[in-house]
A and B are shown apart, each in its own frame.
Chain A
Amino acid sequence: DTAVSQTPKYLVTQMGNDKSIKCEQNLGHDTMYWYKQDSKKFLKIMFSYNNKELIINETVPNRFSPKSPDKAHLNLHINSLELGDSAVYFCASSRLRGLYEQYFGPGTRLTVT
């Protein structure tokens, strides 16, 4: 029944490793997003996909690569993890791109040691 789900919920890894976070929504939405929330709770958009097409890429290092196999899934792969990547990553979806409310997943807390 979960509308937007993410796995894993927690991720602890060492610098230099590569990791992926998966997101799925069962709301039938066309648009999905990745956000990063830092330790000060500042939430910033990273990417947005509409019907599997990348529409927003917010000057994110190219170590981050989103992939949308279909409009219900948006995964985030991170290469060569750095200490500064430690944060909570949220996936979200909305009915149409733009001016509608967004539904957020529970978040993935990434800790890089």
Chain B
Amino acid sequence: SQQGEEDPQALSIQEGENATMNCSYKTSINNLQWYRQNSGRGLVHLILIRSNEREKHSGRLRVTLDTSKKSSSLLITASRAADTASYFCATDASVGGAQKLVFGQGTRLTINP
């Protein structure tokens, strides 16, 4: 079964507003990552937050991690039309000694001008 699940599945806001997306997962993790996917493109890595970190910033992005609740959030401040994309969280999982990323189904974010 999926490790990460994003909420909401779709979000539509006005340009300039803040967008918050949430991710919940089921088992313990070493790190959690957020990726962006523009329509028809590959995924682009945004932020990696380790299990011993609670918050991380990168430009207009802020990620929080609550390991006790097994949840993370991605905040995009002062949204722009170019932020329109799908956003995925990914958690690590062990597979016979190897590590893999397990992705949620994503949040489809639309920024309206």
A residues bordering B, Cβ < 8 Å? 4, 40-45, 48, 50, 55-56, 58, 90, 92, 97-107
Task: Flag if A104 contacts B43 (CB, 8 Å).
Answer: yes
Given contacts A40-B105, A41-B106, A42-B105, contact A101 B99 (CB under 8 A): no
A68 CB → nearest B CB, Å: 15
* B contact set with A: CB distance below 8 Å: 2, 30-31, 33, 35, 37, 40-45, 48, 86, 88, 92, 95-96, 98-103, 105-106, 108
Is B42 in contact with A105, judged by CB distance below 8 angstroms?
yes
Partner of B42, one of A42, A99, A100, A104: A104
Q: Which of A101, A103, A106 contacts B41 (CB 8 A)?
A: A106
**Also in contact, A43 and B98, with CB within 8 A (given A101-B45, A101-B48, A107-B41):** no
Q: Are B95 and A102 in contact, with the CB atoms below 8 A?
A: no
Interfacial chain A residues near B33, Cβ < 8 Å: 101
Question: B42, A43: Cβ atoms under 8 Å?
Answer: no
Could you list some 18 contacts between A and B, CB below 8 A?
A40-B105, A41-B86, A42-B2, A42-B103, A43-B88, A48-B100, A97-B98, A97-B99, A98-B92, A99-B30, A99-B31, A99-B92, A101-B33, A101-B48, A102-B43, A102-B45, A104-B35, A107-B40
A104 to chain B, nearest CB (A): 4
